[in-house]
Amino acid sequence: MEFNWGIIVTILLINVVYVTLNTLRMMLTMKGYQLAAPFIAMVEVAIYVVGLGLVLDNLDNVANIIAYAVGFGAGIYAGMKIEDKLALGHILVTTIVPENGWEVAEKLRGEGFGVTITQAHGREGSRYVLEILTPRSNERSLYKLIHEIEPKAFMISYEPRYINGGFWTKRMKKNKKQVKNNPQENPFTEL
């Protein structure tokens, strides 16, 4: 059995590009990007037809099928990495802190984050629950900041499907100045 390395590499690369685009398109579709997703789908299907044609024309060589499969897996990985770097959309981080909830909220507000705080009761007593909406691009820095302020914080994040009204993240810089100049009074009695 003779290997045509040009065909093998071409099949591999075409499938990496095709599946990367497929993964990105699926994520864009789920996040509601109504113009970008169909455009990517058109490019994706053209690449898919070319790649599949190459494999079907050369089905007698098992290396082509292996290249197709490896390209598929690599494309999914590449698509996920690219989407992670793009950090499209927003996240809602729910943070539960045992004590100094108001302090944590004010420090986060001082960094420009919008924070809603409520009192709650858990198994081990009273707690504060902080709800923070932020672009996904700020996700890691938000986790780091919360951990620096309150190492005992419990955090969980969600990806909201629909956002309307309230504090909006485009105003983060403006809000950062307002909070530093006008701190709010703590309306809660200490836990």
Q: What is the DSSP secondary-structure string of 106-162?
A: HHHHHTT-EEEEEEEEETTEEEEEEEEEEEGGGHHHHHHHHHHH-TT-EEEEE--S-
CA torsion sign, 20 to 21 to 26 to 28?
A: positive
- Res. 182 pLDDT band, cuts 50 70 90: low
169 has a pLDDT exceeding 50: no
Q: What is the per-residue pLDDT for 71?
A: 94
Mean residue pLDDT across the chain: 86
Residue 28 is predicted with a pLDDT of 87
Q: If pLDDT is split at 50, 70 and 90, which confidence band does 168 have?
A: low
Q: Determine the length of the chain.
A: 191
Angle between helices 139-149 and 101-110 (to 10 degrees): 140
- Residue 180's pLDDT is 61
Q: Which tens digits make up the pLDDT trace of 24-33?
A: 999 888 888 8
Q: Residue 113: helix, strand or coil by DSSP?
A: coil
Joined together, the tokens standing for residue 106 give 């004010």
Question: How many helical (H) and strand (E) elements, i.e. helices and strands, does the chain have?
Answer: 6, 4
104-124 burial code (b ≥16 CB/10 A, e <16)? bbbbbbebbbbbebeeeeeee
In this structure, are residues 56 and 49 in contact, taking their beta carbons and an 8 Å threshold? no
Number of Cβ atoms within 10 Å of the Cβ of 68: 19
Which of 130, 88, 96, 89 has the alpha carbon at shortest distance from 113? 130
pLDDT tens digit sequence for 90-138: 899 999 998 888 999 999 999 988 899 999 998 888 999 999 998 888 9
Q: What is the pLDDT of residues 33-63, one digit of tens each?
A: 889 999 999 999 999 898 888 888 887 888 8
Which token pair is 62?
């098992």
- pTM for the predicted model, two decimal places: 0.66
Question: What is the average per-residue pLDDT within 13-17?
Answer: 94
Instruction: With CA atoms as reference, report the closest residue to 120 among 96, 104, 151, 146.
Output: 96
Q: Which two tokens stand for residue 40?
A: 């990517």
pLDDT band at 175 (very low <50, low <70, confident <90, very high): low
